[in-house]
Amino acid sequence: MERTFVAIKPDGVKRGLIGKILQRFEDKSYKIIALKMINVTPEVAAKHYEEHYGKPFYNKLIRFITMGPIVAMAVEGKNAIKGVRHLVGKTNPDEADDGSIRADFSSFSTLNLVHASDSLESAQRELDLYFKKEEYCDNYKNMFEVVLEELGD
């Protein structure tokens, strides 16, 4: 199983979409193993977006992620990084596949509701930034895991 980091950004929280977005992950049998609502500090935001430092949009990213609370989560599942990113949709909602979170709920790329890690390295770095080891609740099996175990996969 693979783990990834997902955040419902301040626009998703302010629009009251937390439940609908969480439901999308659970409907696809991803296991949410850590979840919390937090206010991102400028220091954490700078670490989160460090690969974009110096780019023209960097300051906008920092201002946006710190403008209100986010819902941070650790999501686990088979090929979670690729699958979660597909479920979230492309950054620009006009280019996102129908049925993706961004296509269904977002109107333009700046306010795109959700962040999802793009690689194993990013996922681990972002998970470590937002969660302590003791915050994970990964000692249960969801229905998908039970079925895979029964099938021997």
Catalytic residues: 115
Secondary structure of the chain as H, E, C letters: CEEEEEEECHHHHHCCCHHHHHHHHHHCCCEEEEEEEECCCHHHHHHHCHHHCCCCCHHHHHHHHCCCCEEEEEEEECCHHHHHHHHHCCCCCCCCCCCCHHHHHCCECCECCEEECCCHHHHHHHHHHHCCHHHCCCCCCCHHHHHHHHHCC
Whether 47 contacts 58, CB under 8 Å: no
